[in-house]
Chains A and B, each alone.
Chain A
Amino acid sequence: MSKQILIADDSESIREVLAYSLKNAGYEVLMACDGVDALKYLDGRTVDLLLTDYHMPNMNGLELIGKVRKIENYKFIPILVLTTENQNNLMKEARDSGATGWLTKPFNTEKLLQTLRKVIR
């Protein structure tokens, strides 16, 4: 069974480009447009990886991670945060709130998949 990845990002173009690359790489992709939406998706499903933007309306990425880590099934799920370059403090913040790692924009497919390999098989 292919792994399911949930993308949470308010930007449709980023969602689509991520989904495109991930589907090509054989992953199954679910898309949420913000943190609240993402939580709905996680409920009652088995998601193998969460890829979330930092800045999102309603509930930002770090808040989302905090909530996700409180869900029994997702305590150990790998979570990547989308960041932009030179946000070192954000990366630390992300780790502190429970993220597994981060993916800096801009990225290409190769970099995306390379980063995924660090956290999921």
Chain B
Amino acid sequence: MAAEIIQGLNSYFTFRLGSELFAVNIGHVTKILGLSEITRVPNSPKYFRGIINLFGDVLPVFDGRLKFGFPEVESTRNTCILVFVFELDGQVVSSGIIVDSVEKVLIFESDQIRPAPTVGKGFNNEYIHGITTYKDEFVIILNLEKIFSEEEISLIKSVE
């Protein structure tokens, strides 16, 4: 798949997990898919939901809620898969992440973005690129590269 990361944009794609509003730079987002059948990979970690067929290619899909420490919920009709690209070992890689709902595209100038606060509950601080606000609500801008670049799923021998 010839995916490309578009750099230097200041538009952000926002989505929700639980009550929190998250954002990723729009240059990383390639597609939004409805929740379709996901093929489970046996004995993989719970936050790794499995793989889907994305136009003839295999796309790994992660559960946003579990990955970021939110409780598991039933999916709704708003639940969808956000497909994004990032760089891993010099190669552009695609992954999907399941989010509760997608919101709108917002523009944040770099001076609107503040560094991440040092305390987060159960949330790895490195994952956050910065924080900003939109209509009195905090928006957490994610650093996708950090979240998934270190990720290498290995299978557990057996689930007890």
Find out whether A and B make contact in their complex, taking CB atoms under 8 A apart as touching.
no
